Amino acid sequence: MMKHQTISIRNDNVSEVMTQSPLIISASRATDIPAFYTDWFFHRLDMGYVRWRNPFSGQDSYVSFGNTRFIVFWSKNPAPLLPYLSTLKERGIGCYIQYTLNDYETEGLEPNVPPLQQRIETFRRLVDALGIGAVVWRFDPLILTDRITIDTLLEKIAHIADALVGYTEKLVFSFADIESYKKVSRNLSQSSINYREWDEATMREFASRLSAMNRDNWNFRLSTCAEFIDLSEYGIEHNRCIDPELISRLAPDDSALQNFLYNARSDSGQRKACGCILSKDIGAYNTCPHGCLYCYANTSPASAFANYKRALANPLTDSII
């Protein structure tokens, strides 16, 4: 099994600690670091490490940036990254962005994200800075409610897709699996959102119609994220969000990274349907104040916002928590 290298460093208290020292950092599946913690992240990059708390055991460990060659950012508002992209280039660290660009404005499911047109413009600016392929469009998750039908979702996707022609090569999506996360079903119910679960029939109907629209209009690569259902008959792939092929393409001259990618295997720490290769995620659950009502990473919007306020009061700490 592939593991991260371990090295010894001195932390902010000048104590010697052992750290994981990964080549690829994920920032982050657990919270929106680019939107809310960009300054903190780049300060920690200067300091050389972060302290990470395991969400299941509550135990702290350390992650060194000493060997970091590539970062995959995840965000619904990565605009704060724009001034820092030159810093990564100067350090010889590559990156791409998994950009979740949904449209749930009318329904109020994402109350604290910027307006849709502003987020589309941010997407374009990031592509201008990083190049085509380095910003991946996600419409994630796809939610059905008494107000959102398959027709509604396809209309929303079409509006964004038309605006991103020439700026993205791919659309990644997933189907909301609400009953698997009790806190999600509770938060939606408390907000009077009458959701419906996807089943195989509705998934296949959506996939078939999206595929036809894509052939006629955009010709994006279509991929699902962490879904077991096989939609290959509609030309839809299983995605690898930490993607060795994309990383290799964006960092062709990094021999250490290329050697790692050549031997890369799936990350055993992720869900069974996840195709990502090994990386180290440095985020923390219950810290994102976007307030999305379907979020699986927060216990509640209120608790996440409280944690965010504490983080703002301690901007130099070595951990988000």
Return the SS3 of 290.
coil
pLDDT score at 271:
80
| Position 188 in a domain | yes
| Position 321 in a domain | no
Return the SS3 of 240.
coil
Distance CA 229, CA 226 (A): 9
Distance CA 300, CA 296 (A): 9
Q: CA dihedral in degrees (110, 111, 115, 116; nearest 10)? A: 20
> In which residue are the tokens 């090295």 written?
7
> Per the structure, how many domains does the chain have?
1
pLDDT score at 1:
45
How many CB atoms neighbour CB 90 within 10 A?
8
Mean pLDDT by runs of 10 across the 321 residues of the chain is: 82 94 96 98 98 92 97 98 97 97 97 98 98 97 97 98 98 93 88 94 98 98 96 97 96 94 81 88 96 92 94 94 84
| Position 20 in a domain | yes
Structure-block tokens of residue 249: 């393409």
| Position 318 in a domain | no
Q: Where are the alpha helices (DSSP H) in the chain?
A: 33-36, 38-47, 85-91, 116-130, 150-164, 182-190, 200-217, 244-250, 255-262, 301-313
- Is 82 exposed, middle or buried, given 0-12, 13-18 or 19+ CB atoms closer than 10 A? middle
| Position 32 in a domain | yes
pLDDT score at 2:
59
Return the SS3 of 157.
helix
Distance CA 239, CA 241 (A): 6
pLDDT score at 230:
97
Structure-block tokens of residue 43: 């300060």
Return the SS3 of 18.
strand
pLDDT score at 199:
97
Where in the sequence is the domain holding 230, given as residue range(s)? 5-313
| Position 320 in a domain | no
Which amino acid, residue 318? D
| Position 113 in a domain | yes
pLDDT score at 4:
83
In Å, what is the CA distance from 286 to each residue of 13, 174, 296? 26, 21, 9
Distance CA 280, CA 66 (A): 13
Supply the pTM of this predicted model.
0.96
